[in-house]
Amino acid sequence: MKDYELNELLKEFRDKPVSNERVAKWQLALGKEKRTIQISKRSRFIPMVAASVVGFVLGATLFGQGPLHNPETNHSNNSSEDATIEYVLTKTD
Closest Cα partner for 67 from 84, 49, 91?
91
CB of residue 48 to another protein, shortest distance in Å: 18
Q: Which residues bind another protein (CB under 8 A)?
A: 1, 5-6, 9-10, 12-14, 16, 18, 22-23, 25-27, 29-31, 33-34, 37-38
CB of 34 to another protein, least distance (A): 6
- Phi, psi (deg, nearest 5) at residue 40: -70, -30
Least gap, CB of 52 to another protein (angstroms):
24
* Spatial CB neighbours of 83, under 8 Å, sequence gap ≥ 6: 75
